Amino acid sequence: MMKNGCNKFIAVLFGLLSGLSWAAAQNEFCTTKDGSLQAIAQGPRSIRVYWRADLADARSVQLVVNGKPYEVLAERKGNFCAATLEGLKPNSFYNISLGSDGPRVTEKTWCELPDQSEYDLLIIGGTASGTAAAVTAARLGLRVALVEETNRIGGMASNGLGSTDIRDPSRSNGFFEDFRRMVVDFYGEGNGLRYEPRVALAIFKKMVYALSTIDLYLKCEVEKPIVEGTRVVGAQVRDLVTGKSGSLLAYTTIDATHTGDFAAMCGCEFRVGREPRTPEEPHAGVIYFNNATQEILPGSTGEGDNKQQSYAYLMIWKDYGNSGAPLIEKPRFYDPETYRYSPEWTKTWNYTSGRLPNGKFEINQHPFGIDWPCINHEYPVADKHKRRAIEEMYRDRALGYLYFFQNERGHKNLGLADDEFLDNDNFPVSLYVREARRIMGEYLFKECDVSKAREFYRADSIGIGDYPMDSHATEDLKDPNRIDKGEGEFWLRAFTPWYQIPYGVIVPKRVDGLLVSTAVSATHVGYGTLRMEPVRMSLGQAAGTCAYWSKLYSISPRRVRAAWIQDRILSQYGYITWNSDITRDSRHFKAINFIAARGIFRNEPFEPDKPLTLGEAVAAVNRLLSLEGSNETFPVAGDPERICSRGEFANLLVAAKQKTSPDWIVTLPPWHSYDDVPPSSPYYGAVETLKVKRISANLFDRAERWKFKPNEPITRADAAVALYLAHRAYAMNYWLP
């Protein structure tokens, strides 16, 4: 009680110092549940407040800010009114309500760019992976600077991608699972896999705002990296509003951008485009693919090129019913033939798969929709002026699709959701750059790393994924009768089991002090599954964890051991492998996930409460021997299907460890630790050795004081925790980083 009371007092004090009460800081978002009141920070000293006009007229509104009346000059646009709070304090909370009894929201101004400041971690890009890295690192005690060119964090999840790309919800884990649960709590219903952009943004902000060691620098761009030799030590950053430049120095830097711009500035090797077909990648290169039958079609040459899969702006539409939607003007270059073959509304992907809460739809129809293949091939390496021109073309393509439905198809009820992207004319802020540069790292992730994932195990796994390898088209489809969806389009459902992600994909070659968490090291086909937002969050979580160890031991990220990252990821309920019957709430979750990732116990499901057989026990310790560098193996002495007792397993495990670790040959205590394992017992030496190594029977199911229960069956979960503790020192190897 004393500890909890002290923590609460600190939280209350922090809230008061920020001009916001502890209760408000904990319980409020920057949007109300129904979206009728929203606050969006516009700078270190300003917040824009939006409210639905039927709540309060623009001429008679009274805002209450941190408990005090605030005079504003409001304006009305469509169904919303807006006003700007000026002269605020940087990096400070503001509690805002419509009148004293009206709805309320909480927003925080971001930091002013200093001339120079030092951090433990600098993150370039407030994407899904960048936000996950920031929160993860701050939770581990690091001081973090998060730099983003727009005023939105969270990547595509807060920019229109509200229908989650995850095949099996049971594989949701780590940072994304934290986010998903907050979505469920926000709505009070649902599974958290569908959310509005304003809600995603509010949740990401709340996660970041809860950690005072994260400094946000929004609407800022990187001018150049700061490098000492081959080590990145920070970046020179420019405020896009004021034009001021400042230097942000850090022990570790993460490039979390979709384009890998910062890593490229630092001299990192990268790839753009598509590799040619190889035996390891039978779906690489030029390809026409039948998603229904999962077959490669004639005309597929497999040639490599520099083409990119299509980008898009993911608009959010709303059905306004009989009242009618706000109609838009005809965009530039509008040609109804572009969309002529789009399915009828109720048969579009938007309607069948893109449904979001509150009657909204994620617009992601292709082909004959918002994608515009072939105009983006230069985008990955283009300058910002060329990129802006391409982005404007994608904006026109998206708005043309809406104009087509409103005017050609007669859906006057469909329009841009009026409570989304309120400070950007209800249009997404960021283009969906599905793929651009891919920074080459210590490991190159290929199609075979996914398609053959059940043939091997990764001791260096830093996350899992399961969504099919996926690419949008690289060339526009003109013929609606074609079986494929355009050259370059594929969705490799039949070739994508769940898989592990190796650590090396986030560690760039030859450049130190830098990690890459979005534009990771992969081929075009391999990247097609790593680019999903839940996976990007896992990669960000791993990168933030790596930064912690890098700072702690004063070493380059490439010298951080994967096991160290796993140790912290698992403590945050991230998965490095997957079993259908093991969740974050399972007994011995961390131990089971850690050893299963290394191929110890290959059963699926894991069956944690099932007694271990003798054959399984021997296979497990033999795998342990292999992992620790021994070529020796134990034979199965007896019936392999016979149940293994706790005493027998103790003998096997200690005998194995004594072959690889001399320090497991211990001096036994002069007394026996368990009443049921006296010195005369055949299990005495092994049981006491385990006790010396802090592997106690108290860890096992139905533990009793002073009892080891040597003749009882050992469960798979109890064997897992014993194996984990026995192997952990070798895997972690703190003494030889």
Q: Phi and psi (nearest 5°) for 202?
A: -65, -40
Amino acid at 449: D
Boundary of a domain, candidates 57, 91, 108 = 108
123 and 241 together in one domain: yes
**What 3 state SS string does 222-282 have?**
EEEEEEECCEEEEEEEEECCCCCEEEEEEEEEEECCCCCHHHHHCCCCEECCECCCECCEC
Check pLDDT > 90 for residue 354: yes
215 and 248 together in one domain: yes
Higher pLDDT, 366 or 18: 366
141 and 237 together in one domain: yes
Check pLDDT > 90 for residue 398: yes
Does residue 485 form part of some domain?
no
Decide: helix, strand or coil at residue 79. Answer: coil
| Predicted pLDDT at 13 | 38
211 and 326 together in one domain: no
Boundary of a domain, candidates 424, 458, 488 = 424
Task: Please tell me the distance from the alpha carbon of residue 490 to that of residue 475, in angstroms, as a whole number.
Answer: 13
Task: Please tell me the distance from the alpha carbon of residue 617 to that of residue 715, in angstroms, as a whole number.
Answer: 10
Check pLDDT > 60 for residue 331: yes
Read off the CATH number of the domain in which 524 is found.
Answer: 3.50.50.60
Task: Please tell me the distance from the alpha carbon of residue 145 to that of residue 140, in angstroms, as a whole number.
Answer: 14
Contact 63, 83 (CB under 8 A): yes
Does residue 640 form part of some domain?
yes
| Predicted pLDDT at 639 | 95
Question: Over the stretch 452-470, which tens digit does the pLDDT of each residue have?
Answer: 999 999 999 999 999 999 9
Instruction: Mark 237-252 as b/e (b = at least 16 C-beta within 10 Å).
Output: bbbeeeeeebbbebbb
Number of Cα atoms under 13 Å in the Cβ half of residue 246:
18
Question: Over the stretch 595-632, which tens digit does the pLDDT of each residue have?
Answer: 999 999 988 999 999 999 999 999 999 999 999 999 99
Q: 332 pLDDT band (50/70/90 cuts)? A: very high
- Alpha-helical runs (H) found in 518-605: 524-530, 533-553, 562-571, 589-596
Decide: helix, strand or coil at residue 630. Answer: coil
| Predicted pLDDT at 71 | 86
**What 3 state SS string does 274-293 have?**
ECCCECCECCCCCCCEECCC
Does residue 588 form part of some domain?
no
φ/ψ bin of 189: left (φ > 0), alpha (ψ from -120 to 50), beta (otherwise): beta
Handedness of CA 237, 93, 184, 462 (dihedral sign): positive
| Predicted pLDDT at 12 | 35
- Full domain range(s) for residue 247: 111-273+434-449+502-575
| Predicted pLDDT at 57 | 81
Task: Please tell me the distance from the alpha carbon of residue 634 to that of residue 648, in angstroms, as a whole number.
Answer: 13
Does residue 441 form part of some domain?
yes
Task: Please tell me the distance from the alpha carbon of residue 662 to that of residue 665, in angstroms, as a whole number.
Answer: 6
Q: Residue 700 gets which letter from DSSP?
A: S
Question: Over the stretch 405-432, which tens digit does the pLDDT of each residue have?
Answer: 999 999 999 999 999 999 999 999 999 9
Does residue 209 form part of some domain?
yes
Average pLDDT of every residue of the chain: 95
264 and 367 together in one domain: no
Does residue 514 form part of some domain?
yes
Beta-bridge partners for 138: none
Question: Over the stretch 10-56, which tens digit does the pLDDT of each residue have?
Answer: 333 333 344 444 344 445 899 999 999 999 999 999 999 999 999 98
Q: DSSP letters of 367-406?
A: TTTS--TTTTTTGGG--HHHHHHHHHHHHHHHHHHHHIII
pLDDT over 90, % of the chain: 92
**What 3 state SS string does 462-519 have?**
EEEECCCEEECCCCCCCCCCCCCCCCCCEEEHHHCCCEEEEHHHHCECCCECEEECCC
Task: Please tell me the distance from the alpha carbon of residue 390 to that of residue 652, in angstroms, as a whole number.
Answer: 64
99 and 120 together in one domain: no
Question: Over the stretch 671-717, which tens digit does the pLDDT of each residue have?
Answer: 999 999 999 999 999 999 999 999 999 999 999 999 999 999 999 99
Task: Please tell me the distance from the alpha carbon of residue 103 to that of residue 31, in angstroms, as a whole number.
Answer: 10
Does residue 353 form part of some domain?
yes
Does residue 582 form part of some domain?
no
Check pLDDT > 60 for residue 648: yes
Which tokens in the block code for residue 168? 């099996």
Check pLDDT > 50 for residue 229: yes
Contact 498, 168 (CB under 8 A): yes
Contact 727, 624 (CB under 8 A): yes
Q: How many domains does the chain contain in total?
A: 4
253 and 383 together in one domain: no
| Predicted pLDDT at 670 | 87
Residue listed under structure tokens 């043939």: 455
Q: 669 pLDDT band (50/70/90 cuts)? A: confident
Q: DSSP letters of 522-543?
A: B-HHHHHHHTSHHHHHHHHHHH
> 1: exposed, middle or buried (C-beta count within 10 Å: 0-12, 13-18, 19+)?
exposed
570 and 623 together in one domain: no
Mean pLDDT in residue range 256-264: 98
Check pLDDT > 50 for residue 6: no
From residue 434, how far is each of 10, 534, 559 by CA, in Å?
42, 14, 30
Q: Which residues, 6 or more positions from 70, have their beta carbon under 8 angstroms from its beta carbon? A: 63, 64, 85
Please name which of 27, 437, 338, 85 lies closest in space to residue 209, comparing C-alpha atoms: 27
115 and 97 together in one domain: no
Task: Please tell me the distance from the alpha carbon of residue 141 to that of residue 551, in angstroms, as a whole number.
Answer: 11
Contact 564, 203 (CB under 8 A): no
690 and 620 together in one domain: yes
Decide: helix, strand or coil at residue 456. Answer: coil
Task: Please tell me the distance from the alpha carbon of residue 726 to that of residue 690, in angstroms, as a whole number.
Answer: 8
Contact 373, 439 (CB under 8 A): no
Contact 722, 699 (CB under 8 A): yes
Decide: helix, strand or coil at residue 305. Answer: strand
Question: Over the stretch 278-312, which tens digit does the pLDDT of each residue have?
Answer: 999 999 999 999 999 999 999 999 999 999 999 99
Read off the CATH number of the domain in which 90 is found.
Answer: 2.60.40.2320
Contact 84, 72 (CB under 8 A): yes
98 and 115 together in one domain: no
Q: 5 pLDDT band (50/70/90 cuts)? A: very low
Q: Phi and psi (nearest 5°) for 507?
A: -105, 105
672 and 621 together in one domain: yes
Task: Please tell me the distance from the alpha carbon of residue 442 to that of residue 160, in angstroms, as a whole number.
Answer: 33
Check pLDDT > 50 for residue 93: yes
Decide: helix, strand or coil at residue 60. Answer: coil
